[in-house]
Homo-oligomer: A and B are copies of this chain.
Amino acid sequence: MQYKKAMESIKINVMQKLLKANDAIADEIRKSLKSKGIFFVNLMSSPGSGKTTLIEETVKKLGKKIKVIEGDIQTTLDAERLQKLGVQAYQINTGPFGGDCHLEAAWIKTAITELGTDGMDLLFVENIGNLVCPAEFDVGAHLNVLLISVTEGEDKPLKYPLAFQVSKLCVITKTDLLPLKHFSLKKLRENIKKINPACAVIEVSAHAGTGLESWLEILKNRPGF
């Protein structure tokens, strides 16, 4: 038990140093992209909440000045989906590095260098599908967005508060499934407000094509830029 406690304290010590280094790089990214007129949006959610689909719909409406950094443990499936639409996408796989459950600012910095900033006015990071770890690492975005689908349940803001606290916008997805689900949209909105009263909330359904105007309007207004 003594041994375990000592190990835990080393782990926490290292983690704090890593987070500090991460935050410095994140700030550098945020400033550098702003100076080039590039708005940087970080999308976080559980697996399968519709991050890639939302980016696809955005690309279809706003065209090709968008670049995307995809985070996944394994596969290049999401980057391939986006490349089909003609946008430049860079895939980060954390699998070879122990299957990390989040993205870090240093990797984003490298990815931006690889992608190049020419001809870009909007950068998306699609973070690893996970409601816990990505919220702990600032990737340098101007806007953190949390997606939650109506099939995930109303209680998620209470159970994963940090992800909702670090996000300025919450996008409720798959609202086309609402008629079928035992789910209260009102309750979910109340729980989001309880955890983060300043969080804006919009509803979209990519399949039904509803709610996208609000999303595009927000991207135009560039909150946090």
Q: B-contacting residues of A (Cβ < 8 Å)?
A: 3-4, 7, 10-12, 14-15, 17-18, 21, 46-48, 72-75, 77, 98-99, 101, 106, 128-133, 136, 149, 151-153, 155-156, 158-162, 174, 176-177, 180-182, 207
Contact = CB atoms under 8 A, between A and B. Distances in A.
Contact of A155 (B4, B18, B77): B77
A177 B74 CA distance: 27
A154 to B, nearest CB: 9
Contacts of A46: 46-48, 129, 152
A43 to B, nearest CB: 15
Contacts of A151: 48, 149, 151, 174, 177
Counted per complex, copies of this chain come to 2
A130 B131 contact: yes
Contact of A176 (B21, B129, B180): B180
A78 B123 CA distance: 38
A177 B152 CA distance: 13
A175 to B, nearest CB: 12
Contacts of A129: 46, 131, 159-160
A107 to B, nearest CB: 11
Contact of A101 (B11, B132, B177): B132
A204 B176 CA distance: 22
A15 B18 CA distance: 15
A156 B48 contact: yes
A158 B77 contact: yes
A15 B218 CA distance: 41
A106 B149 CA distance: 34
Given A73-B160, A130-B130, 19 more contacts: A3-B21, A4-B21, A4-B106, A7-B18, A7-B21, A11-B15, A15-B98, A47-B131, A47-B160, A48-B149, A48-B156, A75-B155, A77-B155, A101-B133, A129-B131, A130-B132, A151-B151, A151-B174, A177-B177
